[in-house]
């Protein structure tokens, strides 16, 4: 920054969690660069405008990110901040994820009306989640559960829970923690039960490639988390093919190696396809591609085809 004052416009959705992410990015950037000012610009995405239709029925990837990408490409903002799990594998041409935050707790959490564990759910219990990934993994363990679509911000979801519209609600731990609701959690669900979504718990910052903003933002990148994210997003690209699929992927560093685990299954229940691989951190993207290819070889192509057919019927 060379000590000169500068302004960056940061685009974000207006939800409470998105605003938390934007304030984090603003604080991190202004702390890293003397004289820099970051202005937060709220942008409504398609996913924010339509809060009633279940996500799986909206028939498109990137419903929370495409509007922000458009604003970025049009030059009305300099950077966009996202929950990385909402970002499609294919970014808008000419853009890149320049920096990511350190990963928050990647697990899912459950809120229960009664009991203290998902294992306490009675037969036929109604479980609220809008995630195909969670449905596939839960139904593999508990085919008796009734899955209920869940939309809206955290306050709206909590109101529905308190009204008794369902017996349990599952959310990502990261968002609950960041908004100060950790004391309401009934259980942090073990990774062995629910493997997270690709990028879960990570905040990503997107800019135009090789722009001044990209250089400025790169300083706050958390390198370890970014390596894990590259492996997971490479897996997503190999499996999803631009479609919303019931895929779980989680990378972690074990010593000097990167280990990636993945699951793919039908949200209607049945066996889960499981794959994993490990290797040097520098090979993160190749590891993701390898795990993705293994899932497809195990029969994942049929699950992806079914997801694409559902998306076509929903549009």
Strands 273-280, 257-264: pairing is: antiparallel
Tell me the C-alpha distance between 127 and 125, whole Å. Answer: 6
pLDDT of 272-288, one tens digit each?
999 999 999 999 999 99
Residue 197 counted as domain residue: no
- Cα-based angle 227, 231, 232 (whole degrees, multiple of 5): 115
pLDDT of 40-56, one tens digit each?
999 986 544 444 544 44
Catalytic residue flag (residue 183): no
Residue 184 counted as domain residue: yes
C-alpha to C-alpha distances, 26 to 3, 22, 37, 54, 287, nearest whole angstrom: 18, 6, 8, 32, 33
Q: Which residues contact 96 (CB under 8 A, 6 or more apart)?
A: 206, 207, 208, 209, 214
Residue 259: CA count within 13 A, CB half-sphere? 6
Looking at the structure, tell me whether residues 49 and 36 fall in a common domain: yes
CATH of the domain at 80: 3.40.190.10
Residue 165 counted as domain residue: yes
Looking at the structure, tell me whether residues 79 and 11 fall in a common domain: yes
Looking at the structure, tell me whether residues 97 and 3 fall in a common domain: yes
CATH of the domain at 303: 3.30.160.40
Total domain count, the chain: 3
Looking at the structure, tell me whether residues 212 and 234 fall in a common domain: no
Contact 135, 168 (CB under 8 A): no
What's the pLDDT at 311? 64
C-alpha to C-alpha distances, 256 to 170, 223, 253, 281, 292, nearest whole angstrom: 33, 14, 7, 7, 22
Please report, in angstroms and rounded to a whole number, the separation of the first and last CA atoms in the chain: 46
142-150: long-range contacts, CB 8 A cutoff, minimum separation 24: 142/118, 143/269, 145/121, 147/267, 149/54, 149/55, 149/56
Looking at the structure, tell me whether residues 69 and 209 fall in a common domain: yes
Residue 78 counted as domain residue: yes
Q: Please provide the average confidence, as pLDDT, over all residues in the chain.
A: 91
Residue 193 counted as domain residue: no
pTM over 0.75: yes
pLDDT of 114-166, one tens digit each?
999 999 999 999 999 989 999 999 999 999 999 999 878 888 899 999 999 99
Identify the CA nearest to 283 among candidates 241, 230, 214: 230
Burial status of residue 222 (CB atoms within 10 A of its CB: 0-12, 13-18, 19 or more): middle
Residue-range definition of the domain harbouring residue 19: 1-101+202-221
Residue-wise over 127-153: b if at least 16 C-beta within 10 A, else e?
Answer: bbbbbbbbbbbbbbebeebebbebbeb
Residue 13 counted as domain residue: yes
pLDDT of 211-247, one tens digit each?
999 999 999 999 999 999 999 999 999 999 778 899 9
Looking at the structure, tell me whether residues 121 and 252 fall in a common domain: no
Q: Which candidate in 50, 78, 86, 271 is catalytic?
A: 86
Residue 72 counted as domain residue: yes
Looking at the structure, tell me whether residues 97 and 207 fall in a common domain: yes
Looking at the structure, tell me whether residues 95 and 208 fall in a common domain: yes
C-alpha to C-alpha distances, 212 to 49, 114, 200, nearest whole angstrom: 32, 53, 28
Looking at the structure, tell me whether residues 131 and 257 fall in a common domain: no
Looking at the structure, tell me whether residues 314 and 230 fall in a common domain: yes
Looking at the structure, tell me whether residues 241 and 284 fall in a common domain: yes
pLDDT band at residue 315, thresholds of 50, 70 and 90? very low
Looking at the structure, tell me whether residues 2 and 137 fall in a common domain: no
């Amino acid at each position: 920054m060379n000590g000169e004052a500068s302004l960056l416009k940061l685009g974000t959705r207006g939800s409470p969690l998105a605003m938390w992410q934007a304030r984090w990015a603003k604080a991190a950037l202004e702390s890293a660069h003397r004289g820099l000012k970051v202005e937060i610009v709220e942008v409504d995405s398609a996913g924010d405008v339509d809060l009633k239709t279940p996500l799986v029925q909206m028939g498109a990837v990137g419903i929370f990110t495409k509007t922000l990408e458009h604003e970025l490409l049009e030059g009305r903002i300099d950077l966009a901040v996202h929950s990385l799990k909402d970002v499609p594998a294919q970014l808008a041409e000419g853009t890149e994820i320049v920096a990511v935050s350190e990963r928050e707790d990647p697990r899912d959490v459950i809120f229960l009306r009664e009991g203290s564990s998902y294992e306490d759910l009675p037969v036929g219990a109604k479980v609220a989640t809008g995630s195909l990934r969670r449905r596939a993994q839960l139904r593999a363990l508990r085919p008796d559960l009734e899955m209920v679509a869940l939309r809206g911000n955290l306050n709206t979801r909590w109101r529905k829970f308190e009204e008794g519209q369902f017996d349990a609600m599952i959310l990502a731990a990261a968002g609950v923690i960041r908004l100060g609701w950790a004391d309401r959690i009934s259980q942090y669900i073990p990774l062995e039960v629910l493997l997270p979504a690709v990028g879960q718990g990570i905040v990503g910052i997107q800019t135009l490639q090789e722009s001044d903003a990209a250089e400025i933002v790169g300083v706050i990148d958390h390198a370890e988390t970014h390596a894990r994210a590259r492996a997971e997003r490479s897996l997503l690209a190999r499996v999803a093919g631009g479609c919303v699929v019931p895929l779980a992927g989680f990378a972690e560093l074990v010593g000097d190696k990167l280990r990636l685990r993945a699951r793919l299954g039908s949200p209607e229940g049945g066996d889960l396809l499981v794959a994993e691989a490990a290797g040097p951190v520098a090979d993160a993207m190749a590891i993701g591609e390898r795990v993705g290819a293994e899932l497809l070889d195990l029969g994942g192509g049929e699950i992806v085809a079914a997801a694409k057919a559902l998306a076509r019927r929903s549009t």
